[in-house]
Amino acid sequence: MLFLYNTIITIADFFLKIISLFNPKIKLFVAGRKNVFETLSQKINTNDKTIWFHAASLGEYEQGLPVIEKIKEKYPSYKIILTFFSPSGYEVRKNNIVADATAYLPMDTKENAQKFLKLVHPEMAFFIKYEYWPNYLNELKKENTPTYLISGIFRENQLFFKWYGQFYRNALNTFTYFFVQNEASKKLLLQLGKTNVAVSGDTRFDRVATILEKDNTLDFISEFKNDTLTIVIGSSWPKDENLLIDYINSTTQNTKFIIAPHNIKSEQIEQLKNSISKKTVLFSEKENKNLADFDVFIIDTIGILTKIYSYADIAYVGGGFGNPGVHNILEPATFGVPIVIGPNFSHFAEATALVNLGGCISIMNANELQNTFDSLISDKITRNKKGTICRDFVKTNTGATNMILESI
């Protein structure tokens, strides 16, 4: 089976290079891996002590960040090596300051795994949430390197739990310990005979809880808000925006809107702006403008959405009308903001929990969106109550990072 897997990986690598000629994202995926070993050899010496963290993409990086920071604090003499699989993670966080070396993870061939581990020679390895690369894991086990899964989550429909999933079940044998998000994940691992497992919770709660300790001031957002009730729309997709634009254009409520789309390509931003009939300004055009005069503020940049949520009276988090579903709701939640999302959230434990608790409202269509927004805008008591539910939910679910550090 390993031979078949390696054959598939080799074929995939070949075709990805062809596809990269026509697909910008795949081009980044392929080009970014060309000089990985050279980069690592320049940043890591043979006598360096290192700890390796692997994140699939940006969300997993954010999830693992509290553990990375604590490990760096606890082991200051060690170099932190961070790898990403996806361009959407690496390209955004390649210049992070927490890791000593950041790179794409080379394709999971036996040769790459051996070469990578010889260069990095980690004394511990952490995989964040998921991604189980058999060759890397097998080589880690051969080297007797303690290997941990943090903030892991398992579901019955994964290959591990299928009758034909023995190959991937074998990959799980390489882990020293599993730190999972919930009891359901622990139960599934126990069914496979894995007793080296603990329910630590989700480290993202620790990350978002620390946001409150930072300076979240953005003077230009304060100027735009101008003490007016403001709805912040974060990580929106076109399916979200189709509903939201209708509401923005038609509402007579004394409300302002900040939109931070998931995609900030100039043509899509321009299309979004042109579809809004109210006075609208872009982040890239904000200089020398009296921002208080505008009704809608479109954020055509990245990296400031978290701080913007601190100014929200109501938050709409996008992605819930697509697949796999809603984006990160914990950032607005930590600021005590009531949240509105689309219908696709069942794969996200925190969204499911907050919907059940009443801090988050799921809407199915334009009518429900209008009724929900109008109700939250007009009813300050309900708005504050739902916001408090969100804030308390984050507070009560912190502690995963400390549990992991104490265990290892």
Catalytically active residues are 60
CA atoms of 347 and 67, how far apart (whole Å): 23
Amino acid identity, residue 317? V
